[in-house]
Structure 1
Amino acid sequence: MLTGIYSLLSAAFFVLMDAVDVAFTEAAVGAGISTILMVTTLTMTGRFENRKLHHPKIALSVVIVTGVMLIIGTMDMPAFGSDTAPAQVHVGPYYIMQSGEDIDIPNIVTSVLASYRGFDTFGEVVVVFTAVIGVLALLEFSRKENEVAERPAPMFQHKILRIVSKILIPPIMLFALYVQFHGEYGPGGGFQAGVIFASSIILYAMLFGIEQTRKAVSMPVVKILAALGVLIYGSVGIVSMLNGGNYLNYSVLAENDITGQHVGIIIIELGVGITVATAMILIFLTFARRIGKTNSNSSTKEGTA
């Protein structure tokens, strides 16, 4: 509850600062997905820790080396908040002044994130996909075939919740599609749309059970879609290079530069939405499926103690 309140206050602050896109992201991710994943993780955490004798010297060495490299890298960066930083001197003003001429979409935030800084956004999508691989490697693939987790009974007895959810879930999905394809003209885009779409599936899972959700949502298909979104994004850059342009230069995707920019942004935003939505669904279902088994093991240890 506290994290949800904090996200609400943060979103309101961003709205007051005219950062509506950031407020939208904070409301969708902070108040929605992040809170649910945090509660799910805490539910999996028992009172007792599994003590295993191991010496992670290699992992510790990697962390130390990486930390030293990051610290060295920050020494060459401009001071935090410096008004002489490149982003403040010429980069930011160029985006603001030339966005309308170069890309010709009303939402400057979308033009910056999807076009000017397409490499950064592509990296963020890869990070989300990598997080999914990590979760599946730690929880899903390590799961024994005969290990069946205990799960709470489906909430069939709560008629009000079931009826309200059936009324709300379809509009939530439609709103996600609206946010997906309206990002050029207003707040939104693939990231926010993906999180909103995933929240509808998570709401269904919370009310009707994990196993029922896994029957309705094909997990192999979801896993393929998670990789497909990254592939769609990266393929746009490859097509741009085949057409004689730079990587992720959408201007060469059509005869008209502006049309090419619009086509490229729509396609890469679709890839972002697919990867983010499927990633959030996979992470939640993978965590939630192990809750019963974790709680069962914790109760056994408590009884033994």
Structure 2
Amino acid sequence: METIVDIVLLTFLVVIAIAIVRTRDLLAVVMLTGIYGLLSASFFVVLDAVDVAFTEASVGAGISGLLMLTAITMTGRKEQSGRHKPFLALFVVLVTGGMLIYGTLDMPYFGAVDAPVHMHVAPRYIHDSMQEVGVPNIVTAVLGSYRAFDTLGEVAVIFTAGIGVLSLLALPRRSKQAKSDEATVEQMHERHMVLRIVSKALIPFILLFALYVQFHGDFGPGGGFQAGVIFAAAIILYTMLFGLDTAKRVFNQGLIRLLAAIGLLLYACVGVVSMLNGANFLDYDVLAEDPVAGQHLGILLIELGVGITVTSVMLIIFFSFAGRRQAQQKTAEHNGTEQQGEQDVSRTL
């Protein structure tokens, strides 16, 4: 039965992937991408990789779709047809792909019981992590302790991505919005009264669930990455229903940018404190008298840093795209008003 489920899920994934490549409606592509993420999460659940499934559901089917929807408001809904034939690029891709496949020929077969990862690495994590780290969730022990330096690199990549988007799409500060614009925005939101009322009831529970995922990652699926994405999704939902200007008044943009750096700095500082106490970088055993208690404290702090940085960076990316789109709309409206005024003057003369 499990084999049939695997075949069905993989078939759906292939079909949706082909549909994404062939579809030129970018809104449909975003929707299909979300479906692809949900199917991928289901496939990971079948493989008993619940933590990976949780991450895929929250990131691949959740926040990624929201960010892409914001992005296509700037690019337009329809993909432009290409007028050139990128044969050189296709050749490079084929050669690179062939080399990558050739490089995997010497690797052990997938699932082989005599593979080094199954003979040495996995048994160490499974049998010794509880005594060394004391965390029931082995995935959290691996990512937060054994692979803490690698996870620090992932957080640094996320922070760098946020800084890159902010650098490319940063907008200058503008004066207060005109009263007519506020009236227009308020009139627009009145048409979504049901959604606004329902969201007011749901957003607190979404934020509470994010906190649960953040601080329950030691015992079940979750952690800073998933919690940060869920927390950011709640704020983005608030922004989409109540308006960008309202959200910017509620959530200080300068504070969000500061928190993005503080989260990464908190993670790195845990490693520095470990070194100052005579241990290796990100060796939590020296953070408390009991090594296991030190591991718990270190994982708690670095996961908190991950959650803060991920939340802040997701919000930075969203507000940057949404703010750029809003500026484009205002510029277009202003230019249209000036052209209309010039036409009226011409008719008068």
Match of 2:229 in 1: 195
Contact 1:44 1:295 in 2 (8 A): no
- Hey, what's the Cα distance between the residues in 2 that align with 1:147 and 1:179? 39
Match of 2:185 in 1: 153
Q: Segments of 4+ in structure 1 off by > 2 A? A: 46-49, 74-89, 143-154, 292-301
Contact 1:225 1:275 in 2 (8 A): yes
AA aligned to 1:175 is F
- Hey, what's the Cα distance between the residues in 2 that align with 1:251 and 1:81? 37
Note closer, same or farther for the CA distance 1:251–1:132 as it changes in structure 2 (3 Å cut): same
- Hey, what's the Cα distance between the residues in 2 that align with 1:274 and 1:33? 16
Match of 2:148 in 1: 118
Deviations 1:218-250 (A, max 9, x none): 011111100000010000000001111100000
Contact 1:33 1:195 in 2 (8 A): yes
Note closer, same or farther for the CA distance 1:290–1:180 as it changes in structure 2 (3 Å cut): same
Match of 1:96 in 2: 126
- Matched residue of 1:226: which SS? helix
Match of 1:175 in 2: 209
Match of 1:79 in 2: 107
1:153 deviates by: 2.7
- Hey, what's the Cα distance between the residues in 1 that align with 2:204 and 2:175? 34
Deviations 1:259-297 (A, max 9, x none): 000010001000000000111011101111111344577
- Hey, what's the Cα distance between the residues in 1 that align with 2:79 and 2:60? 29
Match of 2:250 in 1: 216
- Structure-2-length-normalised TM-score: 0.73
Note closer, same or farther for the CA distance 1:297–1:85 as it changes in structure 2 (3 Å cut): farther
Match of 1:236 in 2: 270
Residue 227 in 1 paired to residue 255 in 2? no
Contact 1:179 1:193 in 2 (8 A): yes
1:30 deviates by: 1.0
- Hey, what's the Cα distance between the residues in 2 that align with 1:42 and 1:248? 40
1:167 deviates by: 0.2
- Hey, what's the Cα distance between the residues in 1 that align with 2:63 and 2:146? 28
Match of 2:139 in 1: 109
AA aligned to 1:272 is V
Contact 1:180 1:193 in 2 (8 A): yes
1:81 deviates by: 5.1
- Hey, what's the Cα distance between the residues in 2 that align with 1:230 and 1:275? 6
Residue 206 in 1 paired to residue 234 in 2? no
Q: Which runs of 5+ in 2 are unaligned?
A: 1-30, 81-91, 340-349
Note closer, same or farther for the CA distance 1:280–1:80 as it changes in structure 2 (3 Å cut): farther
- Hey, what's the Cα distance between the residues in 2 that align with 1:106 and 1:43? 44
AA aligned to 1:290 is R
1:31 deviates by: 1.2
1:93 deviates by: 2.0
- Hey, what's the Cα distance between the residues in 2 that align with 1:114 and 1:290? 36
User: % of aligned pairs identical?
Assistant: 55
Deviations 1:139-163 (A, max 9, x none): 11xx345699999835233211010
1:48 deviates by: 11
- Hey, what's the Cα distance between the residues in 2 that align with 1:253 and 1:244? 10
- Hey, what's the Cα distance between the residues in 1 that align with 2:284 and 2:312? 26
Equivalent residue pairs, number: 281
* Aligned alpha-carbon RMSD (Å): 3.1
1:17 deviates by: 1.0
Q: Which runs of 5+ in 1 are unaligned?
A: 50-63
Deviates more, 1:109-118 or 1:2-11: 2-11
AA aligned to 1:250 is Y
1:41 deviates by: 1.2
AA aligned to 2:51 is D
- Structure-1-length-normalised TM-score: 0.83
